[in-house]
A and B are shown apart, each in its own frame.
Chain A
Amino acid sequence: MTGRRALAEYAVPTVTLLGVLLVWEAATRALRVPNFIMPAPSAILGEGWRWRHHFAGHIWVTLYETLGGFALSMVVGVPLAVLIVYSTALRRALYPLIVLMQSVPKIAIAPVLLLVLGHGEIPKVIVAFLVAFFPVVVDTATGLAATPPELLDLSRSYRASAFKTFLKVRLPMAMPFVFSGAKVAITLSVIGAVVGEFVGSDQGLGYVILSATSYWKTELAFSLMILLSVMAIVLFGAVSLVERLACPWLAPADEE
């Protein structure tokens, strides 16, 4: 990539964002919008800065719940996809159940889960898992089913066992799909953890947003939203980085 194109790639969105923030700031000042309805960007940043020492503990809780839900969705989702692809009977038995589970609104399950499992982080981890695991299963299953039939014939003609073929051909072939599922799952896990916290908790960023709004502290709620977005972006970036390290053969997207 040439320097000029790199500049355009980063400069244009940065300038756009700054422009939006400036218009926002100017509009809230000029129209004298009360802070609790629409705080100015400066007010949001100021409020966030004032409360910065109180965030760390809550960040850890939400991060823990998010990563727990994500890890669970991978640990359950990938083997489940393998079972579905390899066994017709299991596919018939499990697939409708998985789709049914996916069609239940998770926000509706959350209160029930919290009722059954009580407070603490575990129910939030489970909500995050429930929200995140569907794309992992679907993408992994798609990837495993996408092995070229010629490669399967080839493995069979060498009398390789089904397990060897799985390990050496089908699973690595499915890796890009597994990672695209994981990238969706990590961002969904953040949502799941926050939804769990909304329903009932006394810690975590979702809880802080809820209490900030009940005290009309819209600026604080906004600054926490920004914090959550940054967290989601960083986690997404981390998964992408792992993908690039684990699958170095995938061509970089900007190669032309």
Chain B
Amino acid sequence: MIRLDRVAKTYRTRRGDLVHALEDISLEVGDTEFVTLVGASGCGKSTLLKLVAGLTPATRGSIRIRDIDVREPFPDVGFVFQQPVLLPWRSVLDNVLFSVEMLGLEPRQYRKQAGDLLELTGLAGFETKYPRELSGGMQQRVAICRALLPDPSLLLMDEPFGALDAMTREEMSLELLRIWDERRKTILFVTHSIPEAILLADRVVVMTPRPGRIARILSVDLPRPRTMELEFDPRFKAASDTVRGLIFAGRGAAR
């Protein structure tokens, strides 16, 4: 589905300094695969998502989605950010419809699907509420519905649960897995949390900073459907030790 070949991204800061955000990134992501990107701050995880979405061009290398070169914004993706960034003047339903509206589709034809998505995420009955009337977790669910409504084949998630409290976060992780189970998508998921990265993923991409590189790609051979109890599984512990080791080794080398 996605094929990154020796991708590098360099940009200039306002002061004119050159920053090597990403260096030599090669990665293939299969159809309906769930891949998490984990690493310390500044390792270019978010930049990588923007590159895949075509929001910013790569400096070197090639990015292809289904054998199409990504050179401009690629409309077959859904974006979910750390903040829900809903439109405060729109109701929950109209916020979900925002994506199809911006794509230039007729929102009225998507009302039924939007309702189904809200039902799927446990938000049935909240259609006419304003975002400020919802909790952080519920707002993030609305943002996920918004991303899913045009039925994109690729979902890019940039620390989507990073601003939530620990309990809501676990709940949302399991819910995302349930949604993914029901509507198979390819997911690229950026996170700071090692347990979250392992719990969700088919494969974990461990990245190290300055410049952002892939340290290792780990396959997670834990059974699905995943549950929180898996955290006590020795395989889970082994995987998380490996990831932690890679991240901290990278940190040591940077100093």
Contact = CB atoms under 8 A, between A and B. Distances in A.
B89 A159 contact: no
A163 interface: no
A169 B103 CA distance: 14
B83 A159 contact: no
Interface stretch (A114-122, A148-156, A212-220): A148-156
Given A153-B50, A169-B87, A172-B87, A159 B132 contact: no
Interface string A147-184: 01011011111111000110011001101000000000
Grouping DSSP codes into helix (H, G, I), strand (E, B) and loop, the B interface class, with mixed when no group exceeds half, is loop
B146 to A, nearest CB: 9
A7 B77 CA distance: 55
Interface string B70-112: 0011110101010101011110000000110111100000000
B87 A154 contact: no
A199 B77 CA distance: 63
A251 interface: yes
Grouping DSSP codes into helix (H, G, I), strand (E, B) and loop, the A interface class, with mixed when no group exceeds half, is helix
A247 interface: yes
Contacts of A155: 102
A153 B55 contact: yes
Contacts of B88: 249-250
A242 to B, nearest CB: 15
Give 10 closest A-B pairs by Cβ, nearest first. A158-B102, A160-B102, A150-B81, A249-B89, A150-B85, A158-B103, A148-B85, A157-B73, A151-B85, A249-B88
21 contacts: A148-B83, A150-B85, A151-B87, A153-B50, A153-B53, A154-B85, A156-B55, A156-B73, A157-B53, A157-B54, A157-B55, A157-B74, A157-B75, A158-B75, A159-B72, A159-B73, A172-B89, A175-B89, A249-B89, A249-B130, A251-B132
Interface of A: 148, 150-151, 153-160, 164-165, 168-169, 172-173, 175, 247, 249-251
Given A159-B72, A249-B89, 11 more contacts: A153-B50, A153-B79, A155-B102, A157-B53, A157-B79, A158-B99, A160-B103, A160-B104, A175-B89, A247-B89, A249-B130
Interface of B: 50, 53-55, 72-75, 77, 79, 81, 83, 85, 87-90, 98-99, 101-104, 130, 132
